[in-house]
């Protein structure tokens, strides 16, 4: 049996005195799509950010592709290279065009030539259906378009897993669909995805595993059908009744 | 008669006149002009100064008694020195400010403390006092060690004449260097604070996004953070450069031979206080105004990305 791509064991994190992640155990296999949901403040974003060490955990172990993920490891940059992250606030480089946003990380991190980087960037911009915006600056695009550029930018690095931290929470409702369509197509193409979102219909469609977190604890983990139809924990039931 | 589902089509906006003159504005203009005229008439009796520009102009450009051609005189030479001080001062102050601004936000405590001490010292002493302390300390202790004038006079003549274009007459190189370093250190403290504000103004999400790609920290800073930081504070930076040109007049107090110093010199010889200083003010005004227009153009082209 192949080892899991991401293996989180007994993860604990504090922000000062606030115990924000409590004994998290999670295994994600290659090709698996995991959706994490839960009330705000439950630690979902913190968990995802610990995966690539944008937040540092104090206790517990995270293994990515067999290697220990830790802020002190010299190969942390290599690990981050294999993880693509899409943020709630897009975080596109405001002073560069869309094309440059996709090309510069490839050239600086992967060492590709500008020609090769451009080709890959244009391919991915076509995949997210905005190739005509390549020469524009992020401020000239709508929120949905910016988020799709962010997804294309991450995909340019050819990551092994894509981490999504509430990608549609900052978008107007009419733009959410275009981003979810891109994410659905990405899921169907076989990418390993770890997604924090409130979009339950989308989660039901693409997830292999649903995870519910509350107050830093991983309360329930199940496949979508069992999760939505027969939630085991009362807290899961309360949460689902509030949002569905 | 059903409800028409079509949207109301857009129309052109009604014309807006750019000069919003109306009768009230004209009335104001007439009142102000009348008051000015009345004031000038009344003061004719009391204001008995006879303007004499003719005696001042030769100090700007004179006719060389030997060759009969136009040659720069004191004021023009002072102007050239001021321009050189301004140019090199801006360059040096920028570098001082960039390095000190980077140190101010550095994780290492020693760098932060050194930069903070520098900024606090310069900003909490009046400029005049700072200039005196700095120049007399440097000129006493440091300049003999540097021995600039000796090193320069050892260079071949061609090199010296090129250096003269950029740094002024070689016999005054010590003098110029003192003024330049003083000005740069003084302005550098203000540039430091501006740079620091710029670095803080870049949202942390930007550097997070870059880190998440696996870019090294220096790459993060150079590719993403610094370009945005400097664009964000461009108005403050260019304002500080204009201020530097005006601050250059401070070094006249320690006999650096720039425009203000020459103006005082000419004023003493001709006794024509107003003409000399009005001319000097006009020259400073022209320099600063032209530069601020250049900076405004640069800001429009390369300013904030959003």
**B234 vs A: CB within 8 A:** no
**A71 vs B: CB within 8 A:** no
Residue B197 confidence (pLDDT): 94
Asked if A143 contacts A170 with a C-beta cutoff of 8 angstroms, the reply is: yes
Whether the predicted model's global pTM rises above the 0.95 cut = no
Q: How far apart are CA B47 and CA B39, in angstroms?
A: 11
Residue B68 confidence (pLDDT): 65
The tally of CA atoms less than 13 A away on the side-chain side of residue B297 is 5
Ordered domains of chain B (ranges, CATH) = 69-302 (1.10.3720.10)
Q: How far apart are CA A13 and CA A23, in angstroms?
A: 9
Given a cut of 90, whether residue B94 has pLDDT beyond it is yes
Residue A216 confidence (pLDDT): 92
Q: Is B212 in contact with A80 (Cβ distance < 8 A)?
A: yes
Residue with the larger pLDDT of the pair A147 and B105: A147
Q: Which residues contact B270 (CB under 8 A, 6 or more apart)?
A: B55, B56, B59, B276
Q: If you ran DSSP here, which 8-state letter would residue A166 be given? A: S
Mean pLDDT, chain B, integer:
85
pLDDT category at A54 given cuts 50, 70, 90 is very high
pLDDT category at A50 given cuts 50, 70, 90 is very high
Q: How far apart are CA A208 and CA A223, in angstroms?
A: 6
Residue B168 confidence (pLDDT): 81
ipTM, interface predicted TM-score of the complex: 0.80
Give me the total of CB pairs closer than 8 Å, taking one residue from chain A and one from chain B.
Answer: 65
Residue A222 confidence (pLDDT): 93
**A87 vs B: CB within 8 A:** yes
Question: What confidence tens digit (pLDDT) does each residue in B213-261 have?
Answer: 888 888 888 888 898 998 889 999 999 999 999 999 999 988 888 899 9
Residue B47 confidence (pLDDT): 61
**Local structure of A37: helix, strand or coil:** strand
Residue with the larger pLDDT of the pair B135 and B149: B135
Given a cut of 90, whether residue A82 has pLDDT beyond it is yes
Residue B46 confidence (pLDDT): 61
Given a cut of 70, whether residue B304 has pLDDT beyond it is no
Q: How far apart are CA A103 and CA B253, in angstroms?
A: 54
Given a cut of 80, whether residue A1 has pLDDT beyond it is no
Q: Packing angle between helix B234-247 and helix B74-104, nearest 10 degrees?
A: 140
Question: What confidence tens digit (pLDDT) does each residue in B167-188 have?
Answer: 888 778 888 888 899 999 999 9
Beta strands in chain A (DSSP E): 6-15, 18-28, 33-37, 59-64, 67-68, 83-86, 161-165, 192-196, 209-214, 217-222
Q: How far apart are CA B189 and CA B93, in angstroms?
A: 8
Least confident of A17-26, A93-102, B29-38, B156-165: B156-165
Given a cut of 60, whether residue B1 has pLDDT beyond it is no
Asked if B291 contacts B242 with a C-beta cutoff of 8 angstroms, the reply is: yes
Residue B55 confidence (pLDDT): 74
Torsion sign across C-alpha atoms B173, B175, B178, B180: negative
- At A96, list the tokens: 């560069």
Q: Which residues contact B48 (CB under 8 A, 6 or more apart)?
A: none
For B306, name the nearest residue in chain A, comparing CA atoms only: A139
Annotation: CATH topology of A1-82+162-244: Rossmann fold (3.40.50)
Count, residues in chain B? 306
Given a cut of 80, whether residue B77 has pLDDT beyond it is yes
Distance from chain centroid for Cα B216: 36
- Average pLDDT of the segment spanning B197-203: 92
Asked if B288 contacts B125 with a C-beta cutoff of 8 angstroms, the reply is: no
Question: What confidence tens digit (pLDDT) does each residue in A190-227 have?
Answer: 999 999 999 999 999 999 999 999 999 999 999 999 99
**A78 vs B: CB within 8 A:** yes
Q: How far apart are CA B300 and CA B306, in angstroms?
A: 12
Given a cut of 60, whether residue B30 has pLDDT beyond it is yes
Q: Which residues contact B53 (CB under 8 A, 6 or more apart)?
A: B275
Given a cut of 80, whether residue A88 has pLDDT beyond it is yes
State the DSSP string of B128-174.
HHHHHHHHHHIIIIIHHHH-HHHHHHTS-HHHHHHHHHHH--GGGHH
**Domain spans, chain A:** 1-82+162-244, 93-158
Task: Return the biggest CA–CA distance within chain A.
Answer: 55
Compute how many other C-beta atoms are within 10 angstroms of the C-beta atom of residue B213: 26
User: What strands, in cross-sheet order, belong to the sheet with A217-222?
Assistant: A83-86, A161-165, A192-196, A33-37, A209-214, A217-222
Q: If you ran DSSP here, which 8-state letter would residue A43 be given? A: S
Residue B63 confidence (pLDDT): 60
Q: Is B209 in contact with A85 (Cβ distance < 8 A)?
A: yes
- Average pLDDT of the segment spanning B194-206: 91
Q: Which residues contact A219 (CB under 8 A, 6 or more apart)?
A: A38, A212, A213, A233, A235, A236
**A95 vs B: CB within 8 A:** yes
Residue B74 confidence (pLDDT): 82
């Amino acid at each position: 049996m192949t080892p899991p791509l991401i293996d989180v064991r007994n993860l604990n994190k504090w922000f000062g005195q606030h115990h924000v992640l409590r004994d998290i155990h999670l295994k994600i296999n290659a090709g698996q799509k995991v959706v994490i949901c839960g009330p705000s403040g439950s630690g979902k974003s913190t968990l995802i950010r610990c995966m690539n060490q944008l937040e540092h955990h104090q206790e517990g172990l995270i293994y990515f592709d067999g290697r220990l993920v830790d802020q002190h490891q010299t190969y942390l940059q290599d690990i981050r290279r294999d993880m693509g992250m899409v943020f709630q606030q897009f975080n596109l480089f405001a002073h560069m065009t869309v094309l440059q946003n996709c090309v510069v990380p490839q050239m600086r991190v992967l060492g590709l030539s500008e020609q090769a980087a451009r080709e890959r960037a244009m391919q991915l911009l076509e995949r997210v259906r905005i190739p005509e915006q390549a020469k524009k600056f992020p401020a000239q695009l709508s929120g949905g378009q910016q988020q799709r550029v962010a997804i294309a930018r991450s995909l340019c690095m050819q990551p092994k897993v894509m981490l999504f931290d509430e990608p549609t929470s900052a978008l107007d409702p009419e733009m959410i669909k275009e981003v979810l369509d891109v994410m659905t197509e990405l899921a169907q193409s076989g990418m390993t995805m770890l997604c924090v979102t409130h979009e339950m219909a989308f989660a039901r469609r693409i997830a292999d595993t649903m995870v519910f977190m509350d107050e830093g604890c991983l309360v329930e983990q199940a496949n979508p059908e069992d999760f939505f139809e027969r939630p085991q924990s009362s807290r899961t039931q309360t949460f689902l009744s509030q949002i569905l | 008669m059903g409800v028409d589902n079509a949207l109301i089509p857009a129309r052109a906006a009604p014309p807006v006149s750019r000069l919003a003159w109306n009768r009230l504005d004209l009335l104001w203009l007439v009142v102000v002009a009348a008051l000015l005229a009345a004031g000038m008439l009344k003061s004719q009796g009391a204001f008995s100064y006879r303007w004499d520009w003719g005696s001042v102009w030769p100090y700007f450009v004179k006719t060389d008694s030997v060759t009969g051609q136009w040659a720069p005189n004191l004021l023009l030479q002072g102007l050239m020195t001021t321009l050189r001080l301004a140019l090199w001062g801006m360059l040096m102050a920028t570098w001082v400010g960039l390095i000190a601004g980077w140190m101010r936000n550095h994780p290492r405590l020693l760098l932060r403390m050194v930069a903070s001490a520098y900024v606090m010292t310069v900003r909490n002493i009046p400029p005049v006092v700072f200039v005196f302390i700095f120049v007399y300390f440097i000129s006493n202790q440091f300049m003999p060690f540097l021995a600039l004038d000796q090193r320069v006079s050892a260079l071949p003549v061609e090199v010296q004449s090129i250096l003269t274009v950029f740094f002024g007459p070689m016999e005054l190189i010590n003098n110029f260097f003192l003024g330049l370093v003083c000005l740069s250190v003084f302005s550098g403290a203000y540039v430091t604070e501006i740079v620091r504000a710029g670095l803080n103004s870049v949202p942390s999400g930007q550097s997070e996004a870059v880190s998440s790609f696996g870019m090294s920290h220096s790459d993060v800073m150079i590719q993403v953070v610094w370009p945005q930081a400097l664009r964000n504070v461009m108005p403050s930076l260019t304002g500080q450069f204009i201020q530097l040109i005006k601050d250059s007049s401070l070094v006249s107090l320690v006999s650096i031979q720039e425009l203000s110093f020459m103006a005082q010199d000419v004023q003493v010889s001709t006794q024509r206080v107003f003409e000399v200083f009005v001319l000097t003010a006009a020259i400073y005004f022209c320099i600063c105004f032209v530069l601020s227009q250049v900076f405004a153009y640069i800001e429009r082209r390369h300013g904030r990305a959003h």
